[in-house]
Every structure is written in structure tokens, then in C-alpha cells.
Amino acid sequence: MNILVSACLLGVACRYDGKSKPDNNVIKLMEKHNLIPFCPEVTGGLPTPRHPSEIVGEKVINDIGEDVTAQYKKGAEEALKIAKMYNCKYAILKEKSPSCGKGKIHNGKFDGGYIEGDGITARLFIENGIKVLGESEINCL
């Protein structure tokens, strides 16, 4: 089946620090499924590398105080467009990211702490009936 995947988990260097976060278990799923790599933050218009951001209330703010909510929302909309185009029932999204994280994200204080919550793209996917799995939850696939 077609599964949309956070591009950084497949080795694409699209993270805020200019690096990737390849996950061998996710990459191995390519033997069984058609994995579609996507990075919402880059597609939303942010550069790589970029300032790290966290969700603060209803906004996304980077570590120099800039409001990047619009870019995060655009990236999420584009990700949903691709997921629907390929009829993805599942998405594998990078845990803890302010875009991709599901269930647990940074607390908005830039102090390394976490709170319960979903990233902007993960939230939109869930609202649209796409099952979101973190990279540690893929055994069912």
C-alpha cells in the first residue's frame, strides 16, 4: 500500500539542522510498501537548515521569536494533498516534531521539555482519517 513518510526518516537531509534521521526499520518497509517521502516544513517554504520551532498555543514560533505558523499550515495542507492523491490510509511521521509528531511534542519553551499534543501535519492527517504512526509504532505494517 501507499504510505506517506516523513522524508527525514528515509534519509533526506531536510531537518532544521540540515541533517536527516534515517530509521532502518522504516526504510526496510520499502520492501513491502510504496513509501512516499514528504517534508511539510520544506514544502511550506522554510529553508534548510532553519531555526528550530515549537508550537506555542495556536501558533508555531521559532527560537528567535518569528511566527512561522503560515509555513507550517501550508506544509500540512500540501502533505494532505499528496496523501489523498496517493490514497494513503497510513502515514509514518517523525516523533516529537512540531510538524510530524503525534501524541508528544516540545512544550513551546525551548527547554527540551515535552507536552502531550500533535504536530501541525499530524493533527491535520488525524482530522482527515489518516492513521498516523510514529517511527517506533510501525510493527503493525
**Can you tell me which of 15, 102, 106, 123 binds ligand SF4, judged by CB under 6 A?**
15
CB of 20 to ligand SF4, least distance (A): 8
Residue type for position 92: I
Residue 88 interacting with ligand SF4 (CB under 6 A):
no
CB of 36 to ligand SF4, least distance (A): 12
Give dist(CA 26, CA 103) in Å, integer. 19
**Can you tell me which of 14, 29, 80, 133 binds ligand SF4, judged by CB under 6 A?**
14
Residue type for position 12: V
Residue 99 interacting with ligand SF4 (CB under 6 A):
yes
First to last CA, the chain: 10
Options 80-88, 92-100, 105-113, 123-131: segment touching ligand SF4 (CB under 6 A):
92-100
Give dist(CA 57, CA 134) in Å, integer. 23
Give dist(CA 51, CA 103) in Å, integer. 23
